[in-house]
Chains A and B, each alone.
Chain A
Amino acid sequence: MAVSRLLSDVANALVGAAKDEDVVHRVVNDLKEVVTQDRATWTKAAQKGELHPYVQHAMLMLLEHDMLDELPRFLTLVLGAAQTNADHRNVRVTSPIELTDDERKQVAKLITKKFGGTHTLEERIDPSLLGGLVISIADWHVDASIKGKLARLTHTLTA
């Protein structure tokens, strides 16, 4: 319980500070990088100044409390706090092939138009989608993939 509370407090503090300096997008991206990397890699990145200072401070705090194993959970709390407190959304885009920059811009434009605020794109490649793409933002989910359309067609036909 104390660990959860501490994680939540650090996440809220991190997002609050990032929002004040309008660097929520950077902080979230850096934290995502940290979560996907091993400790040595992100430590080096921190030493090189590639991580935002707020993220570095947060990592040190977790390190001091021996809570580095809770990083994925911390990231989830940060993403939640970013959406709630800073109008910053984590957009998960899944496509069968890697998106081009132009497609990323289109996705970003679309998300901004629909939700406003800022967002971070989290891309995933899933060839089983066959075509199209899937966009998820928290509990908002749109499946415009061929796989999803086929699933809906199958459901309609067999229901």
Chain B
Amino acid sequence: MAAETQPLQTETAHESGVVGVLGTLGINGQLLIAQLINFAIILIVLWRWVYKPLLAKMDERSKKISDGLVFAKESKKALNDAEVERDQILREAKAEAHKLTEKATADAEKLRGEKMVQAKTEIEKVIVEAKQQIKMEREASFAALKGEIAELVTMATAKVASSMDEKAQRGMIASALKDIENA
């Protein structure tokens, strides 16, 4: 009993001392404690239903912003890639178009050359045929002319010979004998 009484006395003495200090400072200890409790309650309430949701919202917001930034970065990268791919495609298209143009030009040149050769061959053929035709016609004309000349000479000679007198005939026989002798 004496032992139980000692701490109470000490605590009381202590409280007496605190009260004494707080009291000196004009602070009501009990009121202070009550206020502390109230403050704690308010702090807990704020923490639980204000600060924590707000923090969650802020985190979520930050995450959204971060995601947006990542998305924007990826979009920018995709855009860059698309631009690079577009440039590549354009270059390839230009190169292909250039090749096609060159091929078309070469084909056209080749075709033009072939057409030129063909036209030249045709012209030469026509010229050769025309020359042959002219030659044949000329030869035919000459042949006809020569035939007519031969016929005329034969007729004229026959006419002259038929009117030759004996003396002329003897002269021709003598001439023939000379020809045979000299042959």
| Nearest CB in chain B to that of A129: its residue | B161
In the bound assembly, the distance between CA atoms of A146 and B169 in angstroms comes to: 11
Please tell me if the beta carbons of B147 and A144 are within 8 angstroms of each other in the complex. Answer: no
Interface centre among B146, B150, B164, B176 (most CB of A within 10 A): B176
In the bound assembly, the distance between CA atoms of A146 and B154 in angstroms comes to: 9
Please tell me if the beta carbons of B166 and A97 are within 8 angstroms of each other in the complex. Answer: yes
In the bound assembly, the distance between CA atoms of A131 and B179 in angstroms comes to: 13
Contact with A along B151-183 (1 / 0, CB 8 A): 101100110011010101110111111011101
Please tell me if the beta carbons of B169 and A97 are within 8 angstroms of each other in the complex. Answer: yes
Asked, given contacts A110-B181, A157-B149, whether A99 binds B172 with beta carbons under 8 Å apart, the answer is no
User: Which A residues are in CB contact (< 8 Å) with B179?
Assistant: 132, 144
Task: Tell me how far the C-beta of B143 lies from the nearest C-beta in chain A, rounded to whole angstroms.
Answer: 6
| Nearest CB in chain B to that of A110: its residue | B181
Instruction: Decide if the interface of chain B is mainly helix, strand, loop or mixed.
Output: helix
Binds B, one of A48-56, A64-72, A75-83, A100-108: A100-108
Number of interface residues of A (CB under 8 A): 24
User: Which A residues are in CB contact (< 8 Å) with B158?
Assistant: 130, 150
Inter-chain residue pair count (beta carbon < 8 A): 70
Please tell me if the beta carbons of B143 and A150 are within 8 angstroms of each other in the complex. Answer: no
Please tell me if the beta carbons of B153 and A153 are within 8 angstroms of each other in the complex. Answer: yes
Please tell me if the beta carbons of B173 and A99 are within 8 angstroms of each other in the complex. Answer: yes
In the bound assembly, the distance between CA atoms of A157 and B158 in angstroms comes to: 18
Number of interface residues of B (CB under 8 A): 27
A18 close to B (CB within 8 Å): no
| Nearest CB in chain B to that of A103: its residue | B173
Please tell me if the beta carbons of A154 and B161 are within 8 angstroms of each other in the complex. Answer: no
A29 close to B (CB within 8 Å): no
Task: Tell me how far the C-beta of A117 lies from the nearest C-beta in chain B, rounded to whole angstroms.
Answer: 18
Task: Tell me how far the C-beta of A143 lies from the nearest C-beta in chain B, rounded to whole angstroms.
Answer: 9
Chain A positions near chain B (C-beta within 8 angstroms)? 95-97, 99-100, 103, 106-107, 110, 113, 130-133, 135, 142, 144-146, 150, 153-154, 157-158
The 5 closest A-B pairs by CB, nearest first: A144-B176, A132-B176, A130-B161, A131-B172, A157-B146
